[in-house]
Amino acid sequence: MWMMHTTLPEFFRKMKTAAATQGKTPKVCEVVGLEHLKSAKMQSLRTGRIEQSVAKLAKMDEVDRLEVAIMDRVPETMHQAVIRAYDKDGKPVCAILETINILHETADVLIHDFPVVEDNRSPIGKH
């Protein structure tokens, strides 16, 4: 199973390495949108595709730096809130579970002023 997933630190390393080693000059690559995660596993196949895209852009002479922004694809996502209460000694007292829908911005906010956009995403539901 480990071969099918890429750990979060490895994902960051792969993006930064792809940007730094492709093209005539090394590029800096910043990954944003994952700051709230302490650990995660990414699909290795998709990681490889993103890494190839970073390398493709890093080879362009006019490119100075890169940014990989990870964001929700479906603008409305359902999340759960876990509210936990503890006493003065840190002992659990009660927990309440709630749900909340969050409306996220879409990729359009990040690409609206780019003259060229290459969309390699699979159709929603067919990934």
pLDDT band, very low/low/confident/very high, at 89 (cuts 50, 70, 90): very high
CA torsion angle for 77, 80, 81, 84 (degrees, to 10)? -160
Residue 6 maps to a domain: yes
Quote the mean pLDDT of the chain: 90
Q: Percent of the chain having pLDDT more than 70?
A: 96
Residue 12 maps to a domain: yes
pLDDT band, very low/low/confident/very high, at 21 (cuts 50, 70, 90): very high
Residue 117 maps to a domain: no
- Give the count of domains, the chain: 1
Residue 25 maps to a domain: yes
pLDDT band, very low/low/confident/very high, at 3 (cuts 50, 70, 90): low
Residue 106 maps to a domain: no
pTM of the complete model: 0.78
From the list 90, 54, 52, 81, the residue with the least C-alpha distance to 69 is 54
pLDDT band, very low/low/confident/very high, at 65 (cuts 50, 70, 90): very high
DSSP string computed for 25-38: S--EEEEES-TT-S
Instruction: Provide the pLDDT for residue 45.
Output: 87
State which residues form the domain around 58. Answer: 1-70
- What is the rounded average pLDDT of the residues 47-64? 94
| For residue 52, pLDDT beyond 80 | yes
Residue 65 maps to a domain: yes
| For residue 1, pLDDT beyond 80 | no
Instruction: Provide the pLDDT for residue 2.
Output: 52
Residue 49 maps to a domain: yes
Residue 5 maps to a domain: yes
